[in-house]
C-alpha cells in the first residue's frame, strides 16, 4: 500500500471514530506521541493528553472539509498538539510594543515598481538570500530573534551577494530590555537598534539553544551591521507587497494563538477569528515572498521558526489582501544595510 493511500485510509478511520464519538487516543498512541517529541509529564500527563485528544478530533474534522475542497489549508498533529500556547503567551499580551521613533522612510530605487505595476509574485528563496528554517523550541518565545536575524542576513546577502547565516542566540542573549529573552519575548525594532550599535554574530559562532544565557559579545567580532530600519505604514498590504517585491524580505508580527495556525500543515491559511491590532501580535515571522493561488487567491509566503517538520517545510502561506489577515501588515519592518 502506498504511503499516500495509507494516509487516506488512516484519515477515513479517524473520521469514523470522530463521528461515532469514540476515544481517539489509545494508551499506546499517546505513548508513541510523547516518545516522538521527547515529552515526559510526571504530574500533568492527563491534562496534556486531554489537549492532545481534542486536537486529534479538531484536525480530523478540519481535514474532512479540506479533502472535500471546502478549506484552503490542511492541518496535521505536531510537537505543539498537547500544549496550550496561550499559557506561555499570557504575560506577553500585557506588554505594549515600544514606540519606534528611530524608523526611517522607504528608499525607493529607480526601478521601483508600484503595486499596480507588479504582475507576478516573488520568492526570495530562489535568489539564495534565505537561510535554513530554525527551531525556537516549544517553550522559548524567541521568534523575534529568528525573524530579526533572518531579515538582516537576507538584506546583507542581497547587498553583498553572499548569504552568511546570523545568530538568533546572540540576539536572545544580548538584546536588552524591553526585550526579555525566552520568557516574555521581544520586538524586532529593539533588536534592530541593538545590531545598529553593536553588530551581530554569525550562526556558527553562536549556536542556538532554547534558553537565555549571559551576554558574552565583543563587537570587534561582528559579521555585519545595519544603518537603521524602516517601519511600514500600518495595515497597508499594498505597500508591504511593493517593499517585499522591490527591496526584499520583511519581518512581520502576527496573531498566531489559534489551533489553525499551530496545527497548520500546508495550503493558504485563513483564520476568521484572527486579530489584527498591535495588541493582538504574538509571533514574529519573515515574509519572503507572495503569490496567487488559482482557487484560494492571493497569499503571503512566510518563514516560521518551528522547524522544518511544521507547515510546508517550515513555511506557511497566509491569505493576502484579506483585511490584513492576522495582522500581517500591522507592524512590518526591514533593516537598512
**How is residue 9 written as a grid cell?**
485510509
Q: Which DSSP symbol is given to 157?
A: H
Annotated catalytic residue, options 140, 143, 274, 326: 143
Annotated catalytic residue, options 63, 283, 324, 326: 283
Q: Cis before residue 234, ω within 30 degrees of 0?
A: no
Catalytic residue status for 143: yes
Catalytic residue status for 174: no
Separation CA 142–CA 135 (nearest Å): 10
Q: Angle CA(147)–CA(148)–CA(154) in degrees, nearest 5?
A: 85
CB atoms within 10 A of CB 100: 17
> CB–CB of 26/14 below 8 Å?
no
Give the CA distances from residue 117 to residues 48, 120, 240, 244, in Å, rounded to whole numbers and listed in that order. 51, 9, 14, 14
Annotated catalytic residue, options 193, 270, 304, 324: 304
Give the CA distances from residue 300 to residues 120, 285, 295, in Å, rounded to whole numbers and listed in that order. 13, 11, 15
Separation CA 154–CA 305 (nearest Å): 15
Stretch (H or E) spanning 63:
helix 45-67
Strand positions, DSSP E, the chain: 73-75, 103-104, 122-123, 228-231, 250-254, 264-269, 283-293, 297-303, 315-319, 333-336
Three-state SS annotation for 4-44? HHHHHHHHHHHHHHHHHCCCCCCHHHHHHHHHHCCCCCCCC
Nearest C-alpha neighbor of 104 from the set 244, 250, 228, 235 = 228
- By annotation, the residues acting in catalysis are 143, 283, 304
Amino acid at each position: 500500500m502506498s504511503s499516500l493511500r495509507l494516509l487516506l485510509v488512516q484519515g477515513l478511520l479517524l473520521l469514523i471514530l470522530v463521528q461515532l464519538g469514540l476515544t481517539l487516543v489509545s494508551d499506546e498512541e499517546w505513548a508513541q506521541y510523547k516518545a516522538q517529541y521527547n515529552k515526559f509529564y510526571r504530574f500533568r500527563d492527563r491534562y496534556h493528553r486531554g489537549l492532545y485528544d481534542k486536537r486529534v478530533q479538531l484536525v480530523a474534522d478540519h481535514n474532512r472539509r479540506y479533502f472535500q475542497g471546502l478549506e484552503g489549508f490542511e492541518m496535521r498533529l505536531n510537537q505543539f498538539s498537547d500544549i496550550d500556547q496561550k499559557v506561555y503567551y499570557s504575560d506577553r499580551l500585557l506588554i505594549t510594543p515600544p514606540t519606534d521613533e528611530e524608523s526611517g522612510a522607504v528608499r525607493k530605487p529607480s526601478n521601483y515598481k508600484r503595486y499596480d505595476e507588479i504582475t507576478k509574485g516573488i520568492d526570495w528563496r530562489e535568489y539564495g538570500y534565505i537561510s535554513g528554517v530554525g527551531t525556537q523550541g516549544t517553550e522559548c518565545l524567541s521568534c523575534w530573534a529568528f525573524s530579526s536575524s533572518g531579515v538582516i542576513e537576507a538584506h546583507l546577502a542581497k547587498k553583498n551577494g553572499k548569504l552568511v547565516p546570523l545568530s538568533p542566540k546572540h540576539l536572545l542573549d544580548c538584546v536588552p530590555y524591553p526585550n526579555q529573552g525566552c520568557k516574555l519575548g521581544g520586538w524586532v525594532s529593539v533588536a534592530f537598534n541593538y545590531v545598529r550599535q553593536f553588530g551581530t554574530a554569525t550562526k556558527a559562532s553562536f549556536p542556538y539553544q532554547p534558553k537565555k544565557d549571559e551576554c558574552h559579545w565583543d563587537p570587534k567580532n561582528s559579521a555585519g551591521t545595519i544603518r537603521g530600519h524602516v517601519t511600514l505604514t500600518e495595515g497597508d498590504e499594498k505597500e508591504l507587497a511593493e517593499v517585499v517585491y522591490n527591496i526584499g524580505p520583511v519581518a512581520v508580527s502576527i496573531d498566531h494563538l489559534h489551533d489553525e495556525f499551530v496545527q497548520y500543515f500546508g495550503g493558504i491559511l485563513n483564520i476568521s477569528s484572527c486579530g489584527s491590532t498591535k495588541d493582538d501580535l504574538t509571533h514574529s515571522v519573515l515574509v519572503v515572498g507572495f503569490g496567487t493561488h488559482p482557487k484560494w487567491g492571493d497569499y503571503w509566503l512566510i518563514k516560521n521558526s518551528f522547524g522544518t517538520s511544521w507547515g510546508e517545510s517550515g513555511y506557511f502561506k497566509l491569505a493576502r489582501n484579506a483585511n490584513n489577515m492576522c495582522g500581517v501588515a500591522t507592524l512590518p519592518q526591514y533593516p537598512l544595510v
